Amino acid sequence: MNTIVRIAPEAIESLSMARIEAEVGERKVFAGDEWLVARRVVHACADFDILPALWFHPRAVAEGVAALRAGGTIVTDTHMARVGIPQRRLRPFGAQVVCLLGEERVRQRAQTQGMTQTAAAMEIALEEGLAEVVVIGNAPTALLRLVECLEAGAPVPRLVVAMPVGFVNAAESKELFLGRCPEVPSVVLRGRKGGSPLAASVINALAELALGQSG
């Protein structure tokens, strides 16, 4: 039986990171800042098995950090992903995180065009120039619509975090994105696994890097 550890609340995160470092062993397939982001993703799901499926564009970390430091807007596919990125992490840069899901104009477009609300929200965010950083942790339809809009000439985000989860088009949408948008800086969790907490954790790690607090 495992022994319960009595520890001060403010020390829980650092102990978690130390245990990840101790247990990862040969599964530590990244180095430098990429590892600090990957470690945060592992922390979000307690699953080392995701590491082989995690993919970084060579400019992903640098572009993400630069976008945050410049006060860029982060668009998420769901409110779960939005609340997973605390405003306190973004406040030092003047950055903000928004999700258009549930707005009346989104509902109307989804109904009129026969698409999901997450797809309609992504389309509107791109049209309005909000999507400097895109975080997708739930909806493959949002990622698919992102690809379509980029191919149609929409402004290219500085970073895309593509981690939709599920059994229908989750893995397929990620591969489509990687195949059709290889030039877009991105962090992708290939396969079926993903989720809003994992996608949000990437931005939280980048915010720490932007502040020089990771280590």
Count of beta carbons in the 10 Å neighbourhood of residue 183: 10
Contacts of residue 43, defined as CB under 8 A and 6 or more positions apart, other chains included, come to: 13, 16, 17, 20, 201
For residue 188, give the H/E element and its range.
strand 186-189
Reply yes or no on domain 11-211 having CATH 3.40.50.10230.
yes
Phi-psi region of 153 (alpha: psi -120 to 50; beta: other; left: phi over 0): left
Specify the pLDDT at position 193.
Answer: 97
Q: Which of 33, 35, 41, 43 is catalytic?
A: 43
138: buried, middle or exposed (CB in 10 Å: 19+, 13-18, 0-12)? buried
Residue 43 annotated among the catalytic residues of the structure? yes
Exposure string of 54-93, with b = 16+ CB inside 10 Å and e = fewer, is: bebbeebbbbbbbbbbeebbbbbbbebbbebbeeebbeeb
Domain residues of the chain, as ranges? 11-211
pLDDT tens by residue, the chain, 215 residues: 578 878 887 788 888 999 999 999 877 889 999 999 999 999 999 999 999 999 999 999 999 999 999 999 999 999 999 999 999 999 999 999 999 999 999 999 999 999 999 999 999 999 999 999 999 999 999 999 999 999 999 999 999 999 999 999 999 999 999 999 999 999 999 999 999 999 999 999 999 999 986 55
